Structure 1
């Protein structure tokens, strides 16, 4: 059930404790992909997980602005501070929990959100009347990059009309091979503009729609499996010693 599309009475009748909260970012993704790439991919994965899951789950509206100051030199990028982001996510989860949807999986589409989400989910689970866990759809995939093959592939499958195919070669030619400016195992770069002239990391031409379809199916299945685990988990807190 998509919360934003329902009436309050229909939401009130829903019998579940599970919720998905998509979280993205509004930031540059090179000359070929939209500023809302991380929003669109998070929403697509949340939808795939909701469809693959065997029982009811609430899908909350997407949080569209995240921790993205590293892209600040590129026009259209929006960002908030780490503290603001953590507080916003926490209070959104608290409001979901107030209606009984107190087991929340946060579906993340942006790498810059990962550390803050890990921290705030721990805080929520330890101190609030809710259990929260983050799910980042591209975790563990070394090809992730930025506006590179994985994101381009997923967009080509889910939102092909938003991918500027005539700019793929431009994106590829100006892309960096990896994230950062590395010296002696240390990344010296603070912002993406320091190591990529067009904001791209990785080769977007390597991600076609068929690959995007497979990525989405895999992420949706993994998310459904996580929902099952969260639904069955004993979330009562250990007694203080």
Structure 2
């Protein structure tokens, strides 16, 4: 059940303690992919995983702005600080738990959110009346060529939102993009912002994918999310203290 489409009476009738909270970012993804890529993909995986899961799950509205200051040089990118992001996620989970949906899987679509989500989900579980775990879809889908606006994200978009991909700009994206994330010396990334190493914000060649690969990525990620939901639903939470 999607909260944004339900009435309060619909929500009140739901018999589950399980919820998913999609989180993403509004940030540049090269000249070919939309600023909302990370939100769109997180929502798509969340929906597919919930549909695959054998049970009822509450789907919260997505958190659309995340930790993305590294893309600040590209117009349209929005970001908040780590503390603001963690507080927003924590208080949203607390709201879900207030209504009895106190087992929450946070479905993430943005790499910049990963560390903060791991920290805040641990804090929620240790100190609040809820249990939360982060799930980053491209890690679960085993996508070593993830990049940024590269073949992985572009492929998933081509599968679920093909009209949002500017196919006529794929060559431009590849030509002005970077092969890898950052400027590495002695195991240290000297670059903090994507504009330091990518002319147009792209990392990886978005032409090396397609809708067929996107379908496989969605299948893999949704299967992993469904399995996680089942485990979270059955987990004994009595020993958290």
Tell me which residue corresponds to 2:31.
31
Residues 168 and 97 (structure 1), Cα distance of their counterparts in 2 relative to 1, 3 Å cut: same
Contact 1:126 1:237 in 2 (8 A): no
Contact 2:177 2:200 in 1 (8 A): yes
Structure 2 CA distance for aligned equivalents of residues 141 and 37 of structure 1: 16
TM-score using structure 1 length: 0.98
Structure 1 CA distance for aligned equivalents of residues 146 and 160 of structure 2: 17
Query: What secondary structure, in the 3-state scheme, does the structure 1 residue paired with 2:138 have?
Result: coil
> In angstroms, what is the RMSD of aligned CA positions?
0.7
Deviation of 1:238 after TM superposition, in Å, equals: 4.4
Deviation of 1:27 after TM superposition, in Å, equals: 0.1
Tell me which residue corresponds to 1:5.
5
Contact 1:19 1:58 in 2 (8 A): yes
Tell me which residue corresponds to 2:48.
48
Structure 1 CA distance for aligned equivalents of residues 116 and 237 of structure 2: 21
Deviation of 1:174 after TM superposition, in Å, equals: 1.0
Structure 1 CA distance for aligned equivalents of residues 240 and 79 of structure 2: 37
Q: Superposed, which structure 2 residues align to 1:1-241 within 5 Å?
A: 1-139=1-139, 140-239=142-241
Deviations 1:132-173 (A, max 9, x none): 000000115221100000000000000000100000000011
Q: Which runs of 5+ in 2 are unaligned?
A: none
Query: What secondary structure, in the 3-state scheme, does the structure 1 residue paired with 2:21 have?
Result: strand
Q: Which runs of 5+ in 1 are unaligned?
A: none
